[in-house]
Structure 1
Amino acid sequence: MDWKAAWIWGDGEASPRNEWRCFRRTFDVPLTGAESASLKITADSRYVLYVNGTQLGRGPVRSWPFEQSYDTYEVGHLLKAGEKNTIAALVMHFGVSTFYYIRGRGGLLAQLEYGEGTVAVKTDSAWITSKHLGQHPRSPRMSCQHAFAEYVDASAWDSAWIDSEYDDSEWTNAVVLGPAGMEPWTTLKPRDIPMLTEETVYPVRVESLTKFKSFRLSTAIDVRSVMVEGSEDHSNVVEFNGFIATTIRASRSAQATLGFLASGECLKAFSVNGEIIEMDRLYGSLPERYLDVELKAGDNLLLIDASGGMHTGKLQIGVYAESPTELAFVSPLPRFGEQSAFCSVGPFDAVVHLDHQANRKLDWNHEFYTELLGSVKQAGDLETYGEWLRPIALKYVSEADVFSLSVWKKDSVNLAVPAQLQNAVIPNAEAGVVPVYEGFDSEVLLDFGKEYSGYLTFEIEAAEGTILDWYGFEYMSGRYRQDTFGLDHTLRYVSRSGRQSYVTPIRRGFRYLALTVRNASAPLRIYGVSFSQSNYPVAEVGRFECSDPLLNDIWEISKHTTKLCMEDTFVDCPAYEQTFWVGDSRNEALVSNYLYGVQDILKRCLRLVPGSKHQTPLYADQVPSGWSSVIPNWTFFWAIACSEYYEQTADEAFATEMYEHIRFTMDHYLLKIDDSGLFNVKGWNLLDWSPIDQPNEGIVTHQNVFLAQTLRVAARMGELAGDAEGAAKFDAASSRLTSAINEHLWDEEKQVYIDCIHADGRRSTVISMQTQVVASLTGVAQGDRKTVIDGYLFNPPEHFVQIGSPFMSFFYYEALAKVGGVGLILDDIRKNYGNMIVHGATTCWEQYPNFRENRANPDMLTRSHCHAWSSAPAYFLGREALGVRSLVPGWSHIEIAPVPCGLEWARGSVPHPSGGRIDVSWTADESRRTMTISVSYPSDVAVSIKLPEGYSGYIKETKLERV
């Protein structure tokens, strides 16, 4: 690509916090020569592109800043020959690192070409720009994984800015930053996957109508950025000791409620007007805690010990008092002038944690820190700590915390939903009218029927200044709503007068959407609410049906979950994180192979991982990310996925490309083998959420076992790449490690592999199914030991730690399939996934309900209700029950070997990686031990069809010629 365009931005900060900036370029299009035109574009952090008022696309895909991706659009059909044309772009610069973005600087790069490369328009100083004046940059962080919630005032910005006729005379010329190839975007790479879909879906009904009161005063403070300098440049865990101070000004004395909804962060202790509040006085359960307090007329000092270790570091405060009491946050020290109403005391110490490195211990006994809360009785006492006393900049303090305002309800009254209000969810119907209740806010709850991931659109008619607070969440059951503490996916929209529509540029995932209408002087009319489901484009080639309706329902939710978690990479979940977790994607890819058969998404996932070597040679567990975190198993699963990609496609060139990266990281992992011959590392040593013994320092058995397998994979990849010496080295290392595992980590008396050896040399007394499963699956357990271990697979002893997540179940099912346990796989799927169906699941849960974080609230069944690492049934039902599996790389020889396991019939399809599909239909009579199988497949594929052992029957084959 020959870039003539320059990177551009506006005046001001290089990397402003949460800034939306608009760009325009109006130009003449010749009468001829522009019929074929392409526009190449990229931006930091994300853009929405318009040509002559038509939204054309969103991007770019996530990428390392030193490998910035750009998109190419065919735009000839949108250009108007002989007329003025306009390219417009909204660029949303985060200004902070997230779990899917590393902070760069604000920038836009675009180039329009006619025909064979004639540059017609390029980003330069002729482009004009303006901040999006209706967007509030002080909206809260969504979470450590995401950037910011959304707050838009429609009356402050003309939505026609994308049109050619728009008056942009008050805009300014863009500032040229430098040429393509400048820092930090030193390499530009073309997008390597198709554009994502935008499929319109609608709510299925208005679930409820409620009137209620909420906090009169609320805010969210980015304490992390205040306390730890440079923390906006990364997403690592930070730890600090320090305080936040403000005054709550009340127009009269009043009974009030203080609420703290910060997901357990930033509230270690606090005082009100000098009185230390014992934490047992608070009611509510974590993460939401409340205190009823008497506010005096005038200023009330609130001092909060916000110390601790945290990722997000957001302090959410709400204050309620009955009208006519007026409330305001006011700075306790007026000398700080134009800053916010909050000040910080500290930090007295702070540290950034990297979980794969040694980290300095925080000094929790600093004398000023330990004494401060008791010594500050009034605002003036803060001056004693003048050396550590600082105003908090306005940019870190939100005007309102919409999440808290949506979650906390007082005097709530549920109302029957008028039939006319259901019009709000029916396309092209008359408007649904949201009534106004004096002294109350009105909430309309919409149900989309199942979870989706994408972009919200709505059309309304409202009085000027009406506030629409939109809040999406995943699950409810009866009166219970699972509020997304730790995730703020809210949108505040302040309306202008009249009929208007809005399309959000921020991706969200939810099933239920609560709309709270505030400050309305007239009823709100809703003409439509819709959602653009956005995912990697797939055809639903894979199919499965059988005689068990429960398994059919489970297969369907597995399919939908997988689709929702295919964005520009595989992601863990569409709501909480939208993060490419490297280890999760291995299992997700296997499921996708049996559903959709697409490969480019996995290829780009695998290629992204080695880019993290600048963070750690052990490779990070989520990429590209500002969190420099290592889960060794996730690196191992990445290498295994590289090998499985070769098995799926027979792409030797890609295997060779990936081997170089596998060799690099495996060489560094081998440096972590200790004198005992075992892998011993400090890191996030995770496999399952259940209470197995997997300390972050020491020798963890499951990691050693998976490393042994990964070294064998590295040897195999080395052979493919022609590196005989490297292959021999890794094969020998695997053998040595396997021997060491069996020498040091087997308990002969208990006939089990222990979970770990702690850093102090203690042998773990914990026995887990997880450790036994992976020992069987990887072949580390051999001979008599494997016989014993395989027995545990069929009859898990009750005193073993049991499997705690569907992710771990995937490995369990793999191990069972190897030893003839398909019937047990189906029974386990029915039990655990059937429980999801019983509770109304439309997608697969992240955890099983016995997970420790859920036990405090019996209604909370799981954290995320849509998590693709849990989609195992769609893979195993196709591979084992339908019986379709490959025997050689590239699927040129496949086997059809169904296992009925009590099913009377099954039918379905599995995509072939070279195109086409394998269709299988079978019926079985278990009492007569007979089976009929019908199969169709591409004619260039060799097929071996096997009846189950002991069965007789009829086989029909149909070969299909490829086009």
Structure 2
Amino acid sequence: MMNDISSLFPAPRQWYASWIWLGESQPNIEKLFRSRFEVPKETVARLYVTADTRYRVYLDGERLGDGPPASFPHLTYYDCYSVTLTSGWHVLAASVHFIGQNSGSRGGFLAELIDEDGNVLTATNESWLACEGRAWEIASYNFSMNHFSPYQEIFDARRMPVAWNTLDGSEEGWRQAEVITGRNGNAVPQTGPWSCLVPRDIPFLREQHLVAEKIYATGEITDLAARKRPNDLSIPLSAALAPLKYATIQHAEGFCGDDGDILMQCSTQHFDHVFDGVYCPAVILDFGRIVTGRIALDVTGPAGAQLSFGYAERLIDGHFNIAIEGSFADSYILKDGGQTWQTRAWRAFRYLRIQLRECFEPLRIHRLEVIEEQYPFVEKGRFQSSDEELQKIWEISRATLQLCAKEGLYDTPWRETAQWLGDVAAVTVPGIHTCYADLQITGKFFRQSGLTSQPTGLLSNLSNVLRTERFLGSIPDYSLWWLMGLMEHYRFSGDARWLHEFYPEAVRIIRTHRNWMTEEGLLCNVPFWMFIDWAPVDRRGFSAAYNAIFAGALKTFCEWAEHVNDSYWLNIAQSMLHRLQEAFVPMFFNEEKGVLVDAVTGQGPSATVSEHTQAAALLWDLV
């Protein structure tokens, strides 16, 4: 039996590295790290790496990857890369972005490179060098509704150390990295706040390179100061376009192919000190569908020229406007000459607006592409119908699931990019089971969200980490959907270990709801926000829809308790379910209308009747 447990829950790996950082952990700050090391003979090595919040790691100047999957400090994922090394000297380097929206964490970087014989080639400690990532603007605009990458990236290539991630890079101005120690002075990887390190349990994202399908529009804008939100790139990127008259765009069709060589330049007439204003060229590209990816740019131009990128899922009345919905934008300020650049975070968009300012000499874009990132689903589910509209609904649904699956499962890849507990458990996971039968990403969701139990007895609304402390905003029905969803995941996968692992969380959810059950046998005046749906379902007093959802959760919990042989809580849950079933129809059925009312309050039955209440009662056999 002990051997079986060890195989299911293996001991954590032994680390030789320590967490490192440099200076303060301000929100939206970037740090650079590097280590030179010698390899005595050709070898295949493994790189173990993680960071708070995101890293981009390089070996000898070549990008290995980005990570880790978004995670809480108390459950931090790490990644593993296999690399082949020749004998001689090498450089391992990383840029680390600390987003800083979680009050319980701080910036940190952890990495070690182990050869095939088990020797440590390099590991983060005081021997590593570090410097501030001054190329990134700290005070960039924060679109606070987003939970994945809320800051606009403003990158000034003139401030980046030359060849910083290669052997040729100068180490002048670099400082000794600071080792982060725990309360007792220990420097092991389990140093707080990162108390538990776990290996990535999903595959790396799949990448493909895309160019725009067509040019939607070209034009120019007057270069004006946005005085109210001067650091928000979305304001000038949402300005209405006028026809090109003073600014220059040549060979714009190059954005849609491999030949590139697009020429752009701002107006220069103002140099006569008579002409009024500076005009900036802009192009809006249409990718034909919503994509999720990073911008990759190959450009030649003068130092100080600024290319800004705005991202929109849709146009508003035919116009590109991101200032009133999702202010997603990034900007690249050129150094002199030829250069390449990639944005640090993927964005979701169909329309990409490219705008140039502070450029009074020709700038040539040799290639602009999107590196699309997708979860590597395999299309196992099939649906075939003679009804064309129904077939299209299937295709749309499957494509939406693909867009919302990255290193987490998101309500949307665009505005919030949040792993909402109820949305994913009730809608996304069943869809993935149907379309893709993928158990890794769905299992990750249930495990990650199951470890967010809060003082309320409920689970956190979110489990992709940027905010962990907001338990007062709990949505109680989301915890019920998680409970039902995990059992459904077991039925689909046959993997029972998580039923045992998270049974205490299920008990807490039921116990918390028991506190709200009245002598009538129904839940009443449930605190917090009962979501149910965005529709105006009456939730006051005794809520019919919520009681029906709870009946479904009780049924599931009884099956769960029976599976783990817990007769104590099984008897309690069965009693609660029986009382609820007996009281439901007498409380909510309106004989005159022949329907269930949404709620009953101290003033009597609600005048509101909804589809939600009728459907929930039918689904869980209450009528």
TM over 0.5: yes
On the 8 A contact 1:620/1:630 being kept in 2, the answer is yes
Higher mean C-alpha deviation, range 485-494 or range 62-71: 485-494
1:426-445 to structure 2, matched below 5 A, reads 426-427=257-258, 429-438=259-268, 439-445=278-284
SS in 2 for 1:668: helix
1:613 — aligned with what?
A: 453
Corresponding residue for residue 210 of structure 2:
201
- What 5-or-longer segments of structure 2 have no aligned partner? 1-12, 182-186, 269-277
Q: Does 1:524 align with 2:368?
A: no
- SS of match in other structure, 1:465: coil
Aligned residue for 1:444, secondary structure, equals strand
Secondary structure of the corresponding residue to residue 637 of structure 1: helix
Q: Deviations over 1:258-305 (max 9, x none)?
A: xxxxxxxxxxxxxxxxxxxxxxxxxxxxxxxxxxxxxxxxxxxxxxxx
Structure with greater Cα Rg? 1
Hey, what does 2:234 align to over in structure 1? Answer: 403
Please state if 1:23 is matched with 2:3: no
2:50 equivalent to 1:211? no
Structure 1 pair 593–414 and aligned structure 2 pair: CA distance change class (3 A): farther
Q: How far apart are 1:450 and its partner, in Å? A: 0.7
User: Hey, what's the Cα distance between the residues in 1 that align with 2:141 and 2:429?
Assistant: 34
Give runs of aligned pairs for residues 320-719 of structure 1, distance below 5 A.
400-409=231-240, 412-413=242-243, 420-427=251-258, 429-438=259-268, 439-476=278-315, 479-481=318-320, 483=322, 485-586=324-425, 587-623=427-463, 624=465, 625-626=467-468, 627-628=470-471, 629-680=473-524, 681-695=526-540, 698-719=541-562
Q: How far apart are the structure 2 equivalents of 1:214 and 1:755?
A: 55
Q: Residue in 2 aligned with 1:39?
A: 47
Structure 1: give runs of 5+ residues left out of the alignment.
219-316, 319-398, 782-963
Offset, 1:699: 2.9
Of stretches 576-585 and 109-118 in structure 1, the one that deviates more from structure 2 is 109-118
Once the two structures are superposed, what CA deviation does each residue of 1:279-337 show, in whole Å capped at 9, x if it has no partner? xxxxxxxxxxxxxxxxxxxxxxxxxxxxxxxxxxxxxx25xxxxxxxxxxxxxxxxxxx
User: How far apart in 1 are the matches of 2:474 and 2:603?
Assistant: 23
Match of 1:184 in 2: 193
Q: Counterpart in 2 of 1:114?
A: 115
Amino acid in structure 2 at the alignment position of 1:155: R
Query: 1:431 offset after TM fit, Å?
Result: 0.6
Query: Could you say what the CA RMSD is over the residues aligned between the two structures, in angstroms?
Result: 2.2
The SS at the match of 2:618 is helix
SS in 2 for 1:560: helix
For residue 292 of structure 2, give the secondary structure of its aligned residue in structure 1.
strand
What is the CA–CA distance in structure 2 between the aligned matches of 1:650 and 1:170, rounded to whole Å?
Answer: 56
1:375-427 deviation per Cα after TM superposition (whole angstroms, max 9, x unaligned):
xxxxxxxxxxxxxxxxxxxxxxxx52211121234x73378998821112312
- Matches of 1:489 and 1:722, distance apart in 2: 51
Whether 1:145 aligns to 2:157 is: no
Range moving further from structure 2, 489-498 or 760-769: 760-769
Contact 1:633 1:703 in 2 (8 A): yes
**CA–CA distance in structure 2, aligned partners of residues 615 and 209 of structure 1:** 54
The aligned amino acid for 1:86 is V
Query: Percent same amino acid among aligned pairs?
Result: 27
Secondary structure (helix, strand or coil) at the match of 2:243 reads strand
CA shift digits 1:199-254 (9 cap, x unpaired): 22221122110112254233xxxxxxxxxxxxxxxxxxxxxxxxxxxxxxxxxxxx
Tell me the distance in 1 between the aligned counterparts of 2:252 and 2:210: 19
Judged with a 3 Å threshold, the aligned counterparts in structure 2 of structure 1 residues 494 and 175 are, in CA distance, closer, same or farther, namely same
TM-score, normalised to structure 1, is 0.59
Q: Partner residue of 1:909?
A: none
Task: Go from structure 1 to structure 2 and tell me whether the alpha carbon gap of 1:442 and 1:419 turns closer, same or farther (over 3 Å shift).
Answer: closer
Secondary structure of the residue that 1:413 maps to in structure 2? coil
Report the Cα offset of residue 484 of structure 1: 5.6
Indicate which of 586, 592, 609 corresponds to 1:767. Answer: 609
Is contact 2:306–2:332 with CA below 8 Å preserved after alignment? yes
Size of the aligned set, in residue pairs, is: 587
Amino acid at match of 1:642: L
TM-aligned CA distance change 1:177 to 1:767, over 3 Å: same
C-alpha deviation, 1:772, in angstroms: 0.8
1:70–1:189 CA contact under 8 A, matched in 2: yes
Aligned to 1:816: none
Q: Displacement of 1:144 after TM fit?
A: 3.2
1:67 paired residue number: 75
What is the TM-score normalised by the length of structure 2?
0.90
Q: Whole-Å Cα distance in 2 between the matches of residues 736 and 745 of structure 1?
A: 14
Asked if 1:84 corresponds to 2:92, the answer is no
Q: Secondary structure at the match of 2:203?
A: coil
Change in CA separation of 1:746 and 1:133 when aligned onto 2, cut-off 3 Å: same
Partner of 2:15: 3
- Deviations for 1:726-771, whole angstroms, at most 9, x for unmatched residues? 223212211212222222222222222211234x555321111111
Deviations along 1:861-898, one digit per CA (max 9) or x if unpaired, are xxxxxxxxxxxxxxxxxxxxxxxxxxxxxxxxxxxxxx
- What is the SS of the residue equivalent to 2:390? helix
CA distance in 2: counterparts of 1:478 and 1:167, whole angstroms: 52
8 Å contact kept, 1:708–1:735: no
Which secondary structure state, in structure 2, belongs to the residue aligned with residue 25 of structure 1? Answer: strand
How many Å separate the matches in 2 of 1:59 and 1:159? Answer: 24
Separation in structure 1 between the aligned mates of residue 172 and residue 365 of structure 2, nearest angstrom: 34
Q: Distance in 2 between matches of 1:28 and 1:121?
A: 9
* One-letter code aligned to 2:76: Q
Q: Aligned in 2, Cα 1:214/1:639: closer, same or farther, shift over 3 Å?
A: farther
Aligned in 2, Cα 1:632/1:422: closer, same or farther, shift over 3 Å? same
In 2, Cα distance between equivalents of 1:582 and 1:213: 45
Change (3 A) 1:214 1:678: farther
Q: Deviations over 1:570-607 (max 9, x none)?
A: 11111111110111112111111122111011111111
Q: Does the 8 Å CA contact 2:521/2:576 hold for their aligned counterparts?
A: no
Q: Match of 1:727?
A: 570
Deviation by residue 1:527-580 (Cα, 9 ceiling, x = unmatched):
112122223221223343433333333322222111111112211111111110
Cα shift at 1:708? 0.8
Distance 1:595 1:91 in 2: 35
CA contact (8 A) 1:206 1:417 kept: no
1:16 deviates by 1.2
Q: Which amino acid aligns with 2:180?
A: L
| Secondary structure, aligned partner of 2:608 | coil
Aligned partner of 1:80: which letter? T
Rounded Cα–Cα distance in structure 1 between residues aligned with 2:539 and 2:362: 56
Q: How far, CA to CA, are the matches of 2:215 and 2:512 in structure 1?
A: 56
Contact 1:468 1:518 (C-alpha < 8 Å) held by counterparts: yes
**Would you say the 8 A contact 1:630–1:684 is kept in 2?**
yes
- Give the conservation status (yes or no) of the 8 Å contact 1:705–1:738: no
